[in-house]
Each structure stands twice: as structure tokens, then as C-alpha cells.
């Protein structure tokens, strides 16, 4: 039987949940990841998903929302961290993603 949800002291992580990262130097890259599987007590399999621009502040900045189930790239397996306000995962040494509401928009900028 597949695991549907994991509980942590700062929230839960369930299949289909969305994580967002915001990173970059002289620009703000915003990436979304969707939980496609849970393993053990603290591990999630995530896959990057597409983003849709919902607001343009200028030609080089605005706000994005995730597009659920519009997968990009290969799955990544990451350990869930509970040391922040919301569950998080380290995507790379420079990219930390946090659980977010899939209806919430997030800022991006292509300045640089």
C-alpha cells in the first residue's frame, strides 16, 4: 500500500502537494515541484512542474502559479526537513523548496 501522507511537527506532506523555490543572483528564479510519491518516514519523490504567469509587473517580472500535473524533467528523491515554518526539501546546494498552497502566486524576475 502506497503512503498517502507524512506528518511532521511543522505540517504534513501528502501526494500531490506543491513545493516552491525562489533563488538566483540578480534575478529571481521561481520553480515548482509536485510530490508524486512518499517513501519511508521522511522522504518525498518530487517532479518539477510548469508555471503559469498570472501577473506581469513589468516586461521582466511578475507572479507565477504552478500548473499541477504538467511535469518537466525527471523525478528527484529528497529528504523532508522540518526545521522551518513549513516542510521543505533541498533541491540543490543553492535551491531550497518549501511547501506552498498551489493557489498562491509567487514573484519572479528576469533582471540581470
The number of folded domains in the chain is 1
Yes or no: say if 88 and 17 are a contact pair by the CB < 8 Å rule.
Answer: no
- Host domain of residue 34: 3-102
pTM of the model: 0.93
CA–centroid distance for 2 within its chain? 21
pLDDT along the chain (112 residues), means of 10: 92 97 89 98 98 89 96 97 92 95 94 67
Q: What is the 3-state secondary structure (H, E, C) of 73-91?
A: CCCEEEECECCCCCCEEEE
In a domain, 107, yes or no: no
Task: Assess if residue 73 is contained within a domain.
Answer: yes
Residue 109 belongs to some domain of the structure: no
Residues 101, 73: Cα–Cα separation, whole Å: 22
Answer whether residue 108 is part of any domain.
no
Amino acid at each position: 500500500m502506497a503512503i498517502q501522507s507524512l506528518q511532521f511537527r511543522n505540517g504534513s506532506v501528502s501526494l500531490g502537494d506543491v513545493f516552491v523555490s525562489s533563488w538566483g543572483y540578480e534575478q529571481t528564479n521561481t520553480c515548482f515541484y509536485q510530490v508524486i510519491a512518499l517513501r519511508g518516514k521522511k522522504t518525498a519523490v518530487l517532479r518539477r512542474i510548469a508555471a503559469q504567469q498570472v501577473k506581469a509587473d513589468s516586461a521582466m517580472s511578475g507572479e507565477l502559479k504552478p500548473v499541477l500535473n504538467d511535469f518537466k524533467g525527471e523525478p528527484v528523491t529528497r529528504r523532508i526537513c522540518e526545521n522551518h515554518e513549513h516542510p521543505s526539501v533541498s533541491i540543490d546546494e543553492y535551491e531550497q523548496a518549501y511547501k506552498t498552497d498551489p493557489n498562491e502566486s509567487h514573484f519572479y524576475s528576469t533582471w540581470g
